């Protein structure tokens, strides 16, 4: 008994020639979808109640995303342009006491000394309360699976 497999070289070569374009388009679609999911998870989950309990919505509205397509790859960036967003993500040192806002302007002599004794200047380390990095870590397995499926689907 013989098994014969016929390979049509022309159709195979045409399919392989178009593969890089199809793979790149599939990757772009998958990366865009993943960045939207990460952005949504940060806004709805982390900032609304799990981590920071956002009150005004400025930080939530500042969470943006960008998909960058270059010759060396496709990149997605999810982040914020608000300075205090980065401070909460990494932790910061806060000035407290009399020196925090420059001290009392109108007090002189003993009154000023008593004020500083009552409100000693100092610093307080505020612990980081990250909301972007943990979300990315939670999504890593899903992103890897989506990218794998995108490449396999494009090669079929």
Range of the domain at 29: 21-87+130-156
- Model confidence pLDDT, tens digit, residues 94-130: 877 666 666 677 778 888 888 888 877 777 887 888 8
Tell whether 137 is covered by a domain.
Answer: yes
Q: Write down the pTM of the prediction.
A: 0.71
Q: Which residues contact 57 (CB under 8 A, 6 or more apart)?
A: none
Tell whether 50 is covered by a domain.
Answer: yes
Query: Under DSSP, is residue 146 helix (H, G, I), strand (E, B) or coil?
Result: helix
- 29/105 same-domain check: no
- 45/82 same-domain check: yes
Structure tokens at 55: 């009150």
- 80/42 same-domain check: yes
Residue in 53, 118, 107, 63 with CA at minimum distance from that of residue 85: 63
Q: What is the mean pLDDT of the chain?
A: 80
- Model confidence pLDDT, tens digit, residues 141-154: 998 999 889 888 88
**Cβ(104)–Cβ(112) below 8 Å:** yes
- 77/27 same-domain check: yes
- 75/142 same-domain check: yes
Q: Which helix (H) or strand (E) holds 6?
A: none
């Amino acid at each position: 008994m013989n098994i014969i497999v016929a390979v049509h070289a022309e159709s195979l070569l045409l399919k392989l020639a178009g593969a890089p374009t199809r793979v790149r388009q599939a990757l772009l679609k998958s990366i865009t979808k993943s960045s939207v999911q990460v952005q949504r998870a940060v806004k709805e989950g982390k900032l609304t109640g799990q981590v920071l309990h956002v009150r005004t919505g400025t930080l939530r509205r500042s969470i943006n995303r960008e998909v960058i397509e270059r010759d060396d790859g496709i990149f997605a960036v999810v982040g914020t342009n608000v300075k205090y967003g980065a401070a909460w993500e990494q932790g910061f040192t806060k000035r407290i006491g009399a020196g925090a806002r420059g001290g009392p302007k109108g007090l002189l002599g003993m009154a000023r000394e008593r004020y500083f004794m009552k409100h000693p200047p100092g610093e307080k380390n505020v612990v980081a309360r990250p909301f972007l990095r943990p979300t990315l870590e939670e999504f890593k397995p899903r992103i890897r699976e989506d990218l794998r499926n995108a490449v396999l689907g494009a090669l079929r």
